[in-house]
Each structure stands twice: as structure tokens, then as C-alpha cells.
Amino acid sequence: MIPPSEFTRRVMAAGNPGLREIGVGSWEEEHPDEPRPIGEQYDEELLNEGDRRNVMDRYRYWSVEAIKKDLDERGRYGFEVAVENWTHDFNIGSIVRTANAFTANAVHIIGPKKWNRKGSLMTELYQHVHHHASIDEFIDNLTARAEQEGKPRPRIIALDIVPGAQPIERYDFPENCVMIFGAEGPGLTSRALERADDVVYISQTGSVRSLNAGAAAAVAMHTWVMQHGVIG
């Protein structure tokens, strides 16, 4: 449970109409005329204390395990996300959070196992997160998994602005793919670019050379959803 910050509570207490309270209070407090929900998906502590997490309303009072299981059973999308973790980039957390928002099938961290979780806001708890020591190990693991499942290996799509890259606006994402992102600044390593099946970039018209890594990942994932997702 992530409660409102002390600053937020004080502003709310002062009657500031510009801020809204996130989540719901305890079940008895918020729903005095309705029966207490019964089911293994509900978390007793959240029912008693309230649920201030950043989750969809359908998941209020649900345990982390129940939410993750429901996402799996409802069906995650066919794309996966990989991030090279060589600089402990804070954008990794943001990418994980976006992967959760678009129900990516899995997230892969390539490089050091410890990564910057600050921007994820605990959304990694609802994802299948895998670690790989190198880009070669990552691709070997993908290949082995595909062979075991009797399926084609996911197409590896590198997102970076380099010579020969294709503009994302004209690229047709495969339904079964892994998008791989690099660190803020240096971008993807040369080995990642070598092993990728396709390299794609996001067209820009301003003065800066590249988008923030977290923002670029969000654009790429949403593009996949626009091409393959179920909207409605």
C-alpha cells in the first residue's frame, strides 16, 4: 500500500480543491451499506486500511498476486520489452511502468541485476521481470524459450537513432516481438544493434537529437498497441 505523502495530506486537510485524493478508504468507511467483499483475491489489510495504490478501480482491495494472476489470465499483449542496464538509468523504472500500463508480456533487464526502480512505482510487482547478464545471453534465452514452446523466436526490434534505422511511422510491428531500449544518452550498445532484427527510430522535428528514453519507450509501445491492440 502506498499512502498519500505527508505534504498531500496536509494540503487536503487545508481544503485545497485543486488536489483529489487517490484511491479509497477502508471498506466499512467507503461502503457502509454494502456487504464486505468475500474472495481470495482480496487483501485483508487493504480492506481494513484502505487502498491508495495507483491501480485500476477494478483492482481495488486486490492483493498483488491476485492482480498479476488476473492480468495473465485475461491475456497480456504479444510484445515484450528489454532494457540495457549499464548506467543505472532512472528511465528503466519509467519503462517498466509503461510496460505494465500496456500489459507487455514480459520485461527483460540486460546487464547488472540491480536496476533503478524509482520510476516504476512498484509496477514491477505486476510484471514478469527477467534478468540477463548480456545481450547474447538474452537472445539465447529467447531462442531456447521459443524452441521449447514450439514457436518462432520473437523479432528483436532496437529503438535508436542510428544510420539505417527505419522511421517508426512507417514500420509495421510484428505481433510477436521484443522492443529493446538503451540507456539515456549513449543509447543501445553496438552489440545490441548488431543482434537486432530491425532498428527503428522515432521521427522528430525539433532541435534535440533524441527523446527521453522513457518517453521513447512509451511512444513505441503505444504504436504497437495502435497496430495490434484491442481498443474499446
Give the DSSP letter string of 165-199: PEEGGG----SSEEEEE-BTTTBS-HHHHHH-SEE
In this prediction, residue 230 carries a pLDDT of: 83
Cα–Cα–Cα angle for 62, 65, 70, nearest 5°? 75
- 79 and 63, same structural domain? no
Helix/strand number for the chain, H first, E second: 8, 7
- 170 and 122, same structural domain? yes
Helix axes of 213-228 and 91-101: crossing angle, nearest 10 degrees: 20
Quick check: is 89 in a domain?
yes
Phi, psi of 175 (to 5 degrees): -65, -40
Low-confidence ranges of the chain (pLDDT < 70): 1-20, 30-33, 232
Domain housing 33: 21-69
In this prediction, residue 184 carries a pLDDT of: 79
Contacts of 209 by beta carbon, 8 Å cutoff, 6+ apart = 161
Give the 3-state secondary structure of residue 157.
strand
Q: What nine digits make up the cell of 163?
A: 544510420
- 207 and 98, same structural domain? yes
Decide which of 69, 101, 127 is a domain's last residue: 69
Quick check: is 8 in a domain?
no
Phi, psi of 38 (to 5 degrees): -120, 130
Count of domains in the chain?
2
pLDDT tens sequence across 154-211: 999 999 999 999 999 999 999 999 999 998 778 899 999 999 999 999 998 888 777 8
Quick check: is 55 in a domain?
yes
Q: 456487504: which residue's cell?
A: 35
In this prediction, residue 11 carries a pLDDT of: 43
- 194 and 107, same structural domain? yes
pLDDT tens sequence across 90-100: 899 999 999 99
Decide which of 9, 42, 69 is a domain's last residue: 69
